[in-house]
Amino acid sequence: MKKLKIIFAGTEYFSAEHLKMLIDSSQSIVSVITKPDLPSGRGQKITFSPVKKMSIKKHIPVLQPSNLHDKIFRETLLKLHADIMIVVSYGKIIPKEILTMFPKGCINVHASLLPRWRGPTPIQSSILYGDKKTGISIIKMNEKVDAGNILHSIECNISLKDTSQSLSYKLMKIGVQALSDVLTKISQDIIIEKKQNEKYAILSKKIYKKDGLLNWNSKAIKLERLIRAFNPWPVCHFIINNKIIKVWEAEVIFSSKPNLKIGEILFFNKHGIQINTSDKILNIQKLQFPGKKIMDVKNIFFSKNNFFRIGMII
């Protein structure tokens, strides 16, 4: 396979695994673009993205533009004489003047079966809406969000226990192989492009921390999906006595108690905290108190913690 001179754009761990594949396959990566460093955590310390950490370790030049329209930045890219740009979970929209800069174009590894779940949260959305399958789509990028021609796609089943984290690992594994296959075809000029069917296009929405607040007026099945979709971020929660209690795992109990109030605790035992919703019962199995580790509810029950009690409205 003819080596391609590549510029790689990415930020998250999902991106870093694709970059690792390119490095291990001895591709010629002339530069990496990642988002600017930001403060994080309680101490607000500056942290490097997973992609930047790997690039430094492998001695690959790193670019972190705050403005992709900047003329000096574009000139820097041109001087690299790259054949292609690969974008994986970068987190910024690439302007048209960059998309048209490379002889082989710009391609994007996207974590859904496009045109379903375009946009920033495809993995979370597929869980939230109860999809049975998702996948990886590799597209030729254009100026519209995730709307370019499809170069390759591969399916992945979603289990009833999948969280965004576990599903991300599944997709990462098949995405790495899909990208390798596509690059082989591009280098041999045998790639085939397929237009997306706009009739089936759905845009995923950006997620905020406040979206993780559990509303017991929702159906239990919706809340259970929300908990899995928001694991590991932003993590679902409810509030008692001004304390934010994070919920990491739950299940639906398919029975109803019409005489209970919405949000009332039906049982608190070794099996979990069973809460009445607008439809069915949500049984919380793992939670986290502020400043504490994630705990099984059975351990809280056996510790005789009276924080929760039957009949309590939360």
- The domain spans of the chain are 5-200, 209-302
User: Residue 41's pLDDT is what?
Assistant: 67
303 assigned ligand-binding residue: no
Under 8 Å between Cβ of 113 and 131:
no
Which residue in 22, 207, 193 sits closest to 117, CA to CA? 207
Q: Is residue 189 left, alpha or beta, with left meaning phi > 0 and alpha meaning psi from -120 to 50?
A: left
May I ask the CATH class of domain 209-302?
Answer: alpha beta
SS3 183: helix
Under 8 Å between Cβ of 99 and 106:
yes
Count of Cβ atoms closer than 10 Å to residue 183 Cβ = 25
User: Residue 307's pLDDT is what?
Assistant: 87
Packing angle of the helix pair 13-24, 164-187 (nearest 10 deg): 30
Cα–Cα distance, 221 to 260 (Å, whole number): 18
Under 8 Å between Cβ of 230 and 124:
yes
223 assigned ligand-binding residue: no
Distances (CA, A) of 195 to 114, 141, 152, 260: 10, 12, 11, 52
User: Residue 40's pLDDT is what?
Assistant: 72
Cα–Cα distance, 30 to 7 (Å, whole number): 6
pLDDT in tens, the chain (314 residues): 578 999 999 999 999 999 999 999 978 999 999 999 987 766 678 889 999 999 999 999 999 999 999 999 999 999 999 999 999 999 999 999 999 999 999 999 999 999 999 999 999 999 999 999 999 999 999 999 999 999 999 999 999 999 999 999 999 999 999 999 999 999 999 999 999 999 999 999 999 999 999 999 999 999 999 999 999 999 999 999 899 999 999 999 987 677 889 999 999 999 999 999 999 999 999 999 999 999 999 999 988 777 899 989 99
290 assigned ligand-binding residue: no
pTM of the predicted model as reported, rounded to 2 decimal places: 0.94
Is 209-302 the same fold as 5-200?
no
Query: At CA 293, angle to CA 266 and CA 17, rounded to 5?
Result: 115
Please give the CATH architecture assigned to the domain spanning 5-200: 3-Layer(aba) Sandwich (3.40)
Cα–Cα distance, 304 to 181 (Å, whole number): 56
112 assigned ligand-binding residue: yes
SS3 24: helix
Q: Is residue 217 left, alpha or beta, with left meaning phi > 0 and alpha meaning psi from -120 to 50?
A: alpha
